[in-house]
Chains A and B, each alone.
Chain A
Amino acid sequence: MASLDDLKKRIASVKSTQKITKAMKMVAAAKLKRAQDSAEKGRPYSEKMNNIILNLSEGISDKENAPKLLSGTGKDQIHLCVVMTSDRGLCGGFNSNIIKKAKSYFSRLSSESKKLKIITVGSKGNDQLKRVFGEKIIENISFKDSKNANFFDAEKVGKIIIEKFQKEEFDICTIFFNQFKNVITQIPQAQQIIPLKADINDKEKSEDNYEFEPDEDEILTNLLPKNISTQIFKAMLENSASEQGARMSAMDNATRNAGEMVDKLTIEYNRSRQAAITKELIEIISGAESL
C-alpha cells in the first residue's frame, strides 16, 4: 500500500487537475454562448444566399453553358476533400468524429479508384491525417491567430478552392465539418459544394418570375464563388460552436471523474491513517503490558 505521503501528494495533484478542467469547462461554456450566437446569427445569410442561387439556377436559360461551379466539370475522377477541424485539442471526440467520417469517405473513394486530394483546415486534423494520408494532403490551412471564426478567413479558404478549381485540379469538392445540434450532440457532416448540390425543397420552390439585373448568367458567375465562401464560413461557425460544446461536455466529464477519484483517494488515505494510528496504539499497549 502506498504511504500516507504518497496518497497526500496524489490527492493534491488530482485536485489541481480538477481545478484546471473546471476552469476549462467554464471558459468553454462562455465561449460556447458566443459561438452559438454567431452560428445562429450567421444562418440567415447563408439561407438567403442559397435561396437566391436556387431561384437563379431554375431561371437559367442555357443549362449547357451554365457556370462550371454550378454544373461541374462533367467528370468525377478527382475529389477534393476539405476537412475542417479545430486548432486545439482537449475537446472530446470532436476532431476524431470528423476524421472518422472523412476516412470512411476516403476509403470509399479509393475502392472506386477515384483520385483523392485533401485540404485540411485546422492543425488537429492535419496531425491525425498526415500519418496515413500524408502524400494526399495538398494544403494545410490554420487560423490559430484569429480568435473567432470570421468571414475574412472563410474567404481565404474559398479563394484557394476556387483557384484550384479553375486550374482544373479537381472535379468534385466536399467539405467535412461538425454540425452543432446541442451541447452533447454534434453531427459530422459531409457537404458537397462543387458542383453545387441544391437540396430542392418543394416548399421553397417558387413560381415567381424574377427580373434580373444584369442577366442570370452574370449574376450566377459572380455569386457562386461568394456562395463557396459563405458555405465555408457557415461550416466554420458550426464547427466552432461544436468545438466549444464538445470541449464543455468533455471537461465536465473530466471534472466529475476527478471528483470521484479524489473521494476514493481520500477514503484510502483516511483508512491508512487510521490503520497507522491503531498500529501505534497496539505497539504502545503491548509495550506497557510487557513491563
Chain B
Amino acid sequence: MSEEFKLEVVNPEKSFLSKDDVTEVVVPAFEGEMGILKDHISIISFLKPGIIKIYSKLGEEKYYIEDGIIEFKNNNLSILTSSIFNIKDVEKSKIDEMLRVAEETAKDNISDQAKYLIDQKIEVLKTIN
C-alpha cells in the first residue's frame, strides 16, 4: 500500500503548491513540531513561525512560513498561510533584512504572545542564515 497523501499549500493570492505524492510533512505547530504521515487523525492546528519540511520521492523540500493554519482530513493536508517561501530560493540579504525588522519589533512594547512569536521567528531566521 502506498504511503503517500495529498498536500496543498494555499496563500491568499494563489495556490502555492500542490502535490499528491508526499510521504511525510513536518510542520511547526503551536505546541511544537509535528510530523504528519498518511492516515493521521483529522486535525486542525495553528502554526508558528518555522520551517515546513516536505518529504516525497524526490527528496526533501524546506519552506519558511511565518504563520498559518493546517487542516488534515481524509489524507488531504491543507496548509493556509499568508507568508511562505522556499528556503532555496530566498537570498541571504532578504533574510538579514527580515531578521533586522523582527529584532526591532521585539524591542518594542508588545504582548507576551506576540513576543513569543517574534522570538520564534528570530530563532528560525538565524538557523536559516
Contacts and interface: CB of A to CB of B under 8 A. Distances in A.
Contact of A211 (B14, B41, B80): B41
Interface string A92-110: 0000000000000000000
A172 to B, nearest CB: 25
The SS class assigned to the B binding surface is strand
A46 B71 CA distance: 14
Given A209-B42, A213-B45, A45 B71 contact: no
B13 A213 contact: no
Given A210-B42, A212-B43, A213-B43, A48 B12 contact: no
Chain A interface size, as a band, is 20 to 34
B23 to A, nearest CB: 21
Interface in B1-60: 8, 10-15, 29-31, 34, 41-46
B106 interface: no
Contact of A223 (B31, B69, B73, B82): B69
Contacts, number: 73
Interface stretch (A36-44, A114-122, A280-288): A36-44
B30 A214 contact: yes
B14 A49 contact: no
Contacts of B30: 213-214
Interface in A56-82: 56
B78 interface: yes
A146 to B, nearest CB: 13
Interface of A: 38, 41-42, 44-46, 48-49, 51-52, 55-56, 150-151, 154, 206, 208-214, 218-219, 222-223, 226, 230, 233
